[in-house]
Chains A and B, each alone.
Chain A
Amino acid sequence: MNNNNILKKLYTQFFKYNPQNEYNFFLASQNVKDIENVPVSPAKDLEPTNFYTNLDENLNFIKTKYNSLINSDIIIREFVITARDKEYNAVIIYIDGMVDSKTINNSVLNPLMLRNRANTYTGNEKEIISEFNNNDVIIRKIKKFNLGNYIIDHLMPQNDVKKIEKFEDAFSGINMGNCFLLVDTLNIGFDIDVKGFKQRSISSPQNEVIIRGSQEAFVENIRTNTSMLRRIINNENLVIENCSVGKITKTKVAICYLKDITNNDLVAEVKYRINNLDIDHLISSGQLEQLVQDSTSSLFPQLIATERPDKTVIHLLEGRVAIIVNGTPYVLIAPGVLSDFLSSPEDINFRFQFSDLLRLIRLLAVFIALFLPGIYVAVTAYHHELLPTELLFTIEAARETVPFPTIVEILLMEISFELIREAGIRVPSPIGPTIGIVGGLILGDAAVNANLVSPVLIIIVAITAICSFSIPDLTLNFTVRACRFIYIFLGYIAGFLGIAVGVFLQIIFLCNLKSFGSPYLRPYMLHNNKRAAASYFLPPIWKRENRSNIVNPKKKYSQGKISMLWKNNKVK
């Protein structure tokens, strides 16, 4: 019997149907019509746009929109307010973590809920706006009691309160960290600024370090950034226009310019491009840069991206437009031309001789970073005669034991270097220097000892790397790095002929490039401009009368013909 049972058990276990118990998750299609890239919202057309007078109806809709049953950080606080000794049902809605609770308690709930002289006042119900006598008949213009106005004027000791009629505006305010007040019987709501989320404080710049200038950098908060600009410019002509980009994120973007200097067409063009973006989300200024630049295929940057308020202000004073994106510590400046990316904000702090020397060195660095590896390949492959005989012997002797052709050798080293650089950026900061030491010193030395590359090539790659680091702009640095590979390839296939063709085409592309209507090589190409010859190089500070003509500003001069009046005895 037992044996039978065992056999039966074995039989059933063996032949029994075991449903596959493998965890198999897949994402099924949601069948949402997203053809026109509209945000997913069922019955969008049926949704109310304006507030009802009934509080419950408003509240129900808001609760549905915010999924308040599952959303843990949406706070809906219902209470009763007292106005003119009458009680009204009210509710405030806000997002926990984005508001300052103290402000809500002290400036919203306290004055509205607690009985005080303001809300218990029962004076004249009708407010007399104007009164005049016509043939002994007194005509009075009387305004009926308005609860909305009464709340704003008497009950809300808060600096920034807006009356709102649409749900959309209410959601926008709540999402940005405001508190929203709804009162029964009113078909309006109150958007109260009580923002209080944690944010990074102003710190020194990380990537645009200078010695003698300001040590402040932009932060993620748009208002902090605009206030930094206001503080430096200190002029009422600074205009900061706000708009939102992205259907889902509705990211705040500020367009800043000096209305008495900046060309109106430039401002209009910037606004036109930013307001005509059909995107769901905007997270960073880098995204916006790619969306508004003139040529999307060009490798060259067409907008200046900076984390320095002082650099932004210099450009604003030249008549350019700054674009601040909420959530990004990098501000975009339009337009950006080639010479801007080779200039450092430090330049204005030094005497013009030093600045010009630095600018010349930077120019040289760009040329070396761009062409040196390509020229090395071209010279070793086609133009040996360029090298002095002794140097040629040294290079050839060093290369004798290397089994690869020059192109493989240089690509190996360049790609290795790029990898080290990329790894150095991505790894946690304490390990960063180790990567540099391991990658740069140990690997380089080992590669030479193993006869994988020649020592001369290590020198070439090292010089190229140092020169590329001296390019002030990060995006231009990327451009130079990318173009360098093209020149290496051209140098390999046709020597100087290939490089010449590359240079010619690069010149053509640069001449064709424009940034917000300004030719990319503008300072060089500018005609009828006295500054044309010295646009890249700075003239002495007393000779900088003309404002840069890159953006055709409204004001031509930035200082008097004689700026140092004290020196010429012309003090008024």
Chain B
Amino acid sequence: MKIIMGILYISFLLIVPMFVIKNFSENLQLIYFRTSPLIFIVLFFIVSSTIANKFSIKVLAKANLIIIPIVFISIIVILLSSIKNFSPQRVFPILGYGVNETFFKGLANLFSFSGIGYLLFLNPFINKTTEFKKISIISIIISGIYLFLSVTCILLSLAFTFKSGESFSLYLLTRNLEYGRFIQRIDAVFILIWIISTISYISIAIYFCIYIFKKLTKICDSSSMNYTVNLFILTLLILPGNFATINNLIGKIFKFSSLILIFGLSIIILILANLKLKIINNKKGKV
């Protein structure tokens, strides 16, 4: 069971960065690098995540401590700047295209919360394991605030009929921001901040992937795995022909399978593990 779950999570953690890089790179190519090949953009992400993964999780965590407030400020700036475009009417109709579209067909969109899966592997890296619950709640709250602010901006500024790629909805919003006559387009600054945060996210996902592999195979030194995993992701990135193919893959297969893995299998295993622990504790109590 341990090996199966490990392999499933490794696959998940390999595919997530791949999708993120592909999605982000395609968008970047579309906006700024129309004449450059996609691999040129992709290489920036891969190289930086390879270098970042040469260091420990402590270093990655510290880097995030710097990056997260910057991202937060960027979202606040977007929120404040786009207030003038807010229209409460845009919230309606609350169910959008209807119950069926929102709750059943849109069920796969819960994939956006798959980041919760990382919490399952966080425990060994925390100095005080007793604070794990506190850390989990705080991280979920912080993520919730980010999500709420982003969704508020998009929901109140854009009509519900508006459709865009997942990662660049906010970008479309930033294109309309202007501050007087002098600063009319500052979307590139936000792109710069998001690139940094994306690289950080990818690095952490790859770090966990290598960590699980190390646990499964019990290898002493996993430093060389860093190159292997990053090269593997690079290879995966080159395989699909275009954005449409990858979108199709995300929509049809990956979203549902990751939902099953994180919100289904993992929760079941956690419940079973909890029961097992209780039984063991009870036995110990009797003895």
Listed in ascending order, the chain A residues whose CB lies under 8 Å from chain B are 379, 382-383, 385-386, 388-389, 494-501, 503-505, 507-508, 511-512, 519, 521, 524-525
Contact in complex: A525, B52 (CB < 8 Å): no
Q: Are B52 and A508 in contact (CB under 8 A)?
A: yes
Chain A binding site: helix, strand, loop or mixed by DSSP?
A: helix
| Closest chain B CB from A374 CB (angstroms) | 11
Closest 6 CB pairs between A and B?
A500-B195, A511-B62, A385-B185, A383-B188, A496-B192, A512-B59
**B185 to nearest A CB, angstroms?**
4
1/0 contact string of B182-199 vs chain A (CB within 8 Å): 111111110111011001
Name the one of B33, B41, B67, B188 contacting A507, with C-beta atoms under 8 angstroms.
Answer: B67
Additional pairs, 8, CB under 8 Å, beyond known A500-B195, A504-B52, A504-B196? A385-B187, A495-B33, A497-B44, A504-B195, A504-B199, A508-B63, A511-B62, A524-B65
Contact A495 B51 (CB under 8 A): no
Q: List 16 A-B contacts (CB under 8 A).
A: A382-B33, A385-B187, A388-B184, A495-B188, A496-B188, A496-B195, A501-B195, A503-B196, A504-B67, A504-B199, A505-B52, A508-B52, A511-B59, A511-B66, A512-B55, A521-B62
Which of chain A's residues has its CB closest to B184's CB? A388
Q: Give the chain B neighbours of A385 by CB distance below 8 A.
A: 184-185, 187-188
Interface residue? B87 (CB, 8 A): no
> A519: which B residues are within 8 A, CB to CB?
62
Considering the chains assembled together, what is the distance between the CA atoms of A500 and B192 in angstroms? 6
How far is B28's CA from A496's CA once the two chains are assembled, in angstroms?
10
Given A504-B48, A525-B62, A388 and B182 touching (CB < 8 A)?
yes
Minimum Cβ distance to chain A for residue B18 (Å): 18
Say if the beta carbon of B32 comes within 8 Å of chain A: yes
Interface residues of B in 140-198 (CB under 8 A from A): 181-189, 191-193, 195-196
CB-contacts of B179-231 with A (<8 A): 181-189, 191-193, 195-196, 199-200
Instruction: Determine how close the nearest CB of chain B comes to the CB of A529; give it in whole angstroms.
Output: 14
Option from B28, B62, B186, B193 in Cβ contact (under 8 Å) with A386:
B186
In the complex, residue of chain A having the shortest beta-carbon distance to the beta carbon of B186:
A386
**Chain B residues numbered 243-260 whose CB sits less than 8 Å from any CB in chain A:** none
Contacting pair B63 A495 (CB below 8 A): no
Bound state CA distance, A507 and B200, in angstroms? 10
Cβ distance A384 to chain B, nearest Cβ, rounded Å? 9
What CA separation (Å) do A407 and B47 show in the bound complex?
23
A456 to chain B, nearest CB (A): 16
> Which residues in B have their C-beta under 8 angstroms from that of A495?
32-33, 188
Contacts A382-B32, A386-B186 given: A499-B59 contact, CB under 8 Å? no
Residue numbers in B under 8 Å from A525 (CB-CB): 62, 65
Across the two chains, which residue of chain B brings its CB closest to A498? B44
Given A388-B181, A499-B192, A500-B196, A505 and B66 contact (CB-CB distance below 8 Å):
no
Q: How far is the CA of A507 from the CA of B61 in the complex (A)?
A: 11
Decide: B188 and A505 in contact? CB cutoff 8 A: no
Q: Which A-chain residue is minimally distant from B65 (CB atoms)?
A: A525
Contact in complex: B62, A497 (CB < 8 Å): no
- Partner of B51 from the list A382, A499, A505 (CB cut-off 8 Å) is A505
Could you tell me the distance in whole angstroms from the C-beta of B189 to the nearest C-beta in chain A? 7
Cα separation A512 to B60 with both chains bound (whole Å): 9
A386-B188, A495-B32, A496-B188 known; A524 vs B66 contact (CB < 8 Å)? yes
Interface centre among B183, B188, B193 (most CB of A within 10 A): B188
CB within 8 Å of A: which residues of B? 28, 32-33, 40-41, 44, 47-48, 51-52, 55-56, 59-60, 62-63, 65-67, 181-189, 191-193, 195-196, 199-200
Task: Give the interface centre of A386, A388, A511, A525 by most chain B CB atoms within 10 Å.
Answer: A511
- What residue of chain A has the Cβ atom nearest to residue B62's Cβ? A511
Q: For residue A382, which residues in chain B have a CB less than 8 angstroms away from its CB?
A: 32-33
* B67 proximity list for chain A (CB < 8 A): 504, 507
Residues of A within 8 A of B181 (CB): 388
A386 touches B199 (CB 8 A): no
> Quick check: A504 and B189 within 8 Å, CB to CB?
no
Q: Kindly list chain B residues whose C-beta atoms are within 8 Å of the C-beta of A505.
A: 48, 51-52
Minimal beta-carbon separation of B219 from chain A (angstroms): 23
Contact assessment for B196 and A497 in the assembled complex, using a CB-CB cutoff below 8 Å? no
- Rounded to whole angstroms, the CA-CA distance of A23 and B134 in the bound complex is 83
C-alpha gap A234/B28 in the complex (Å)? 62
Q: A385-B185, A496-B192, A501-B44 are in contact. Are A507 and B63 (CB under 8 A)?
A: yes
- Do residues A501 and B199 form an inter-chain contact, with CB atoms below 8 A? yes
CA distance A303 to B47 in the complex (A): 31
Residues of B within 8 A of A507 (CB): 63, 66-67, 196
> Given A503-B196, A504-B48, A505-B48, A497–B183 Cβ distance below 8 Å?
no
For the complex, give the distance between the alpha carbons of A127 and B63 in Å.
74
Neighbouring B residues of A498 by C-beta, 8 Å: 44
**CA of A525 to CA of B186, assembled, Å:** 30
B32 touches A497 (CB 8 A): yes
CA distance A382 to B183 in the complex (A): 17
Which residues of A lie under 8 Å from residue B195 when comparing CB positions? 496-497, 500-501, 504
Provide the residues of chain B in CB contact with A512, threshold 8 Å.
55-56, 59
What A residues does B199 contact at CB under 8 A? 500-501, 504
Alpha-carbon distance A484/B56, docked complex (angstroms): 27
Interface centre among A379, A503, A504, A524 (most CB of B within 10 A): A504
Kindly state the separation between the CA atoms of A524 and B187 in the bound complex, as whole angstroms: 28
Best-buried of B59, B191, B193 by chain A (most CB within 10 Å): B59
- Contact between B183 and A388 (Cβ–Cβ < 8 Å)? yes
Least CB distance from B86 to A in Å reads: 24
Q: Complex Cα distance A386/B181, Å? A: 12
Closest Cβ of chain A to B31, distance in Å, is 9
Q: Determine the chain B residues whose CB is within 8 A of the CB of A511 once the complex forms.
A: 55, 59, 62-63, 66
User: How distant is the Cα of A386 from the Cα of B67 in the complex, in angstroms?
Assistant: 22
Knowing A499-B192, A505-B48, A524-B66, the reply to whether A383 touches B55 (Cβ < 8 A) is: no
- B-side contacts of A524, CB under 8 Å: 65-66
> Which residues of A are found within 8 Å of B51, using beta-carbon distances?
505, 508
- Measured in the bound complex, the distance between the Cα atoms of B183 and A494 in whole Å is 23
In whole Å, how far is B114's beta carbon from the nearest beta carbon of chain A? 23
Chain A residues whose C-beta falls within 8 Å of the C-beta of B192 in the assembled complex? 496, 499-500, 503
The interface centre, meaning the residue of A389, A494, A519 with most chain B CB atoms within 10 A of its CB, is: A494
Q: State A385–B15 Cα separation when bound (angstroms).
A: 34
CB distance from A472 to the nearest CB of B (A): 22
Shortest Cβ distance from B199 into A: residue: A504
Q: How far is B28's CA from A521's CA once the two chains are assembled, in angstroms?
A: 31
8 Å CB contact of B200 from A389, A494, A499, A504: A504
Min distance, Cβ A390 to any Cβ of chain B, angstroms: 9
Residues from chain B with a CB closer than 8 A to the CB of A503 are 192, 196
Q: Is the CB of B28 within 8 A of A497?
A: yes
Contact B32 A383 (CB under 8 A): yes
Question: Which chain B positions have C-beta within 8 A of A521?
Answer: 62, 66
Bound CA–CA A389/B59 (angstroms):
42
Residues of chain B lying within 8 A (CB to CB) of residue A389: 184
Chain B CB within 10 Å — which of A389, A496, A498, A521 has the most?
A496
Instruction: With CB as the reference atom, state the residue of chain B lying closest to A502.
Output: B48
Name the distance in Å between B3's Cβ and chain A's nearest Cβ: 32
Q: Are A508 and B184 closer than 8 Å at their CB atoms?
A: no
How many Å lie between the Cα of A386 and that of B187 in the bound state?
A: 8
Chain A residue at smallest Cβ distance from B181: A388
CB distance from B44 to the nearest CB of A (A): 5
Q: How far is the CB of B140 from chain A (nearest CB, A)?
A: 20
Interchain nearest-CB distance for B196 vs A (Å): 5
Shortest CB distance A423–B (Å)? 36
- In the bound complex, residues from chain B placing their C-beta under 8 Å from that of A501 are 44, 47-48, 195, 199
Chain A residues near B188: list those with CB within 8 A. Answer: 379, 383, 385-386, 495-496
A511 and B60 alpha carbons, distance in the complex (Å)? 8
